[in-house]
Structure 1
Amino acid sequence: MTTSPDLRRLADPFPPEDVDWLPGVTTKDKTKALAFPYVKNAAIMDRLDAVCGPENWCNAFKSGPDGGVLCGISIRVTYADGTAEWVTKWDGAENTDVEAVKGGLSSAQKRASTQWGIGRYFPRIPQQWVPLDKRGRFVETPRIPAAFLPKGHQQAAPTPSSGDGGARPTPPTPRAGERRIVRTTGANDAERRARPQG
C-alpha cells in the first residue's frame, strides 16, 4: 500500500481551456476536418504539480531512434512503511517540422504523460467534423461532450477561429492567487493606428 497521492487523479478530465485541437482527415472539398484533441504541456505540468507535488515528479529527455526524442516522467511513490522509490514511464516522438527540437520535446512529454493516464481518455471522445476556413483552420472551437469534462463544468458556446492555424483557445481561468491582465483592441485603437501622422 502506498501513502502517495491518489495517482488515479492524473487521469481526470481537463477543462476546455487546457485542450487544443488539430485538424486531421479532411473532406474531399477541404471544408471540414476531423478534430483531434490534445492537452497543453503547461496543463500536464500543472496536473503533476497538483496531484504529486512539484517536488515529487520530474522529467528527463534523451535521444530516441532516428533523431527522435524520448521523455521519461518520474513520480516518487511513498509506501506505508516510509520507504520511497521513483517510478519512471517513458515514451517518445519524432522531431517536428516546425521548431523541430522544441516540438519533439513537447510531443514526447505529452506521450509520456499518457503513460501515467494524463489525457488517455482523448481517443474515446467521439470524433466530430468541424468546418474549416479556406486556409485549413477551424472556423470554430470543437466542443467537448459533457461526459469528458470535469464534474460540474460546462463548455461555453463555440468561439470563432483565431486565424493562427488553430481554434481560438478559451481564455484561461486564473488559478488561486493569480491575476490576469487582458487588453482588448477596440475600433478606436484600429482607427488611431490607421490615421496618417502629421
Structure 2
Amino acid sequence: MKLSDVQKRLQAPFPAHMVSWKPASFNAERTRAMLLAHVDARAVQDRLDAICPDDWRFEMEVVQGAATPTIKGRLTVLGVTREDMGEASEGCSAPYKAAASDALKRCAVQFGIGRYLYDLPRHWVDWDDARRAPLHMPDLPEWARPDHERSPGGAHLVQAMEQLRYELPEDLDLQREVYKHLKAALGSIHPVTNNPGRAA
C-alpha cells in the first residue's frame, strides 16, 4: 500500500462531533470572539490507526532554548516523512505534552489530515468572558462534513454507533440516548405521516 492509495481517506472530513472550536482573537470588549475549528491529537491517531495501523510512527524532540515549550515532530506514514514544529499555548498546565500534540497535528496536516479545517470561513460569535466560552457554536458547512452526515439521519446514526462502539452501555440513561439517536435517524429516512387515508 502506498500513500497515494489512501490519500482521499486521510483527507476526509471528520465527524462533526469530533470538531472543536477555540478562540483565536477577541474584540476590544471581549464580547465577541473569532473561533477556529480543530481536532485533537487523539482524532489524528485514530484516523491513522484506521487507515494504516502498522505503518505509521511519530517521533519528537524538545527544541532547546525556545522562548515557549516547543517540540519538533516527525511523522512517517507508509514510508513518507513530514516534519513540523509544535508549541504549547500560554497558561497550559502540561506544556510539553501540549506542544507534542500540536506537532503531531501540524505534521498530520501535511498529509492532508484535517487540512480542510483551514478553509472554513472565519466565525465571529458572541463570547461570555466570565465562562470563557462562546454563547453558541458555529455549524459546519455541508462540504466540511463526511458523506454519511450529509444523508438523512446520518448524524444521529454516527452518534449512536459511537456509543455502541464497544458494547451497549449498562446505564439506562445512556441506553435511552442511543435509542433516541436511532429513532431520530430512522425517522429522517422514513418520516412518519399523519395522513389517515394511508395504510400504515
Q: Do Structure 1 and Structure 2 share a fold, with TM-score over 0.5?
A: yes
- What corresponds to 1:143 in structure 2? 139
Say which structure, 1 or 2, has more relative contact order (CA 8 Å, 6+ apart).
1
CA apart distance, 1:7: 2.3
Alpha-carbon spacing, 1:68–1:2, altered in 2? closer, same or farther (3 Å): closer
Alpha-carbon distance, 1:105 to partner: 0.8
Q: Tell me, which stretches of 5 or more residues in structure 1 are unaligned?
A: 77-85, 155-170, 185-198
Q: Residue 60 of structure 1 corresponds to which residue in structure 2?
A: 59
Describe the superposition over 1:50-109 as per-residue Cα deviations: whole angstroms up to 9, x where unpaired.
222x11111111123525101111112xxxxxxxxx221111122333111111111111
Q: CA shift at 1:3, angstroms?
A: 8.3
Counting aligned pairs with the same residue, the percent is: 28
User: What's 1:87 paired with?
Assistant: 80
> C-alpha displacement at 1:21, in angstroms?
0.8
In structure 2, the CA distance between the partners of 1:172 and 1:117, relative to structure 1 (3 Å rule), is: farther
Aligned-residue RMSD, C-alpha:
2.8
Secondary structure, in 3 states, of the residue corresponding to 1:113? helix
Is 1:153 the counterpart of 2:149 in the alignment?
A: yes
Count of equivalent residues: 160
When normalised by structure 1's length, the TM-score is 0.70
Distance 1:95 1:129 in 2: 24
CA distance in 2, matches of 1:5, 1:177: 27
SS of structure 1 residue aligned to 2:147: coil
Question: In the aligned structure 1, how far is the partner of 2:104 from the partner of 2:172?
Answer: 32
Task: Give CA-to-partner distance per residue, 1:172-196, whole Å, 9 cap, x none.
Answer: 8517742374687xxxxxxxxxxxx
Q: Give the structure 2 partner of residue 25 of structure 1.
A: 25
- Alignment correspondent of 1:194: none
Name the TM-score, length of structure 2 as normaliser.
Answer: 0.69
- Listed one character per residue, the Cα deviations across residues 126-178 of structure 1 (whole Å, up to 9, x for unaligned) are 11111211323112222111111111415xxxxxxxxxxxxxxxx78517742
Instruction: Give me the whole-angstrom Cα distance separating, in 2, the residues matched to 1:180 and 1:38.
Output: 29
- Find the counterpart in structure 1 of residue 126 from structure 2: 131
Structure 2: 5+ residue runs without aligned partners? 151-158, 174-200
Q: Residues 108-130 of structure 1, C-alpha deviation per residue, up to 9 Å, x if partnerless?
A: 11111111111111121111111
User: In structure 1, the residue corresponding to 2:115 is in which secondary structure?
Assistant: coil
Which of residues 27, 49, 72 is equivalent to 2:74?
A: 72
Paired position in structure 2 for 1:106:
101
Contact 1:16/1:144 (8 A) holds in 2: yes
Structure 2 residue aligned with 1:11: 11
Secondary structure (helix, strand or coil) at the match of 1:121 reads helix
> Which residue does 2:48 correspond to in 1?
48
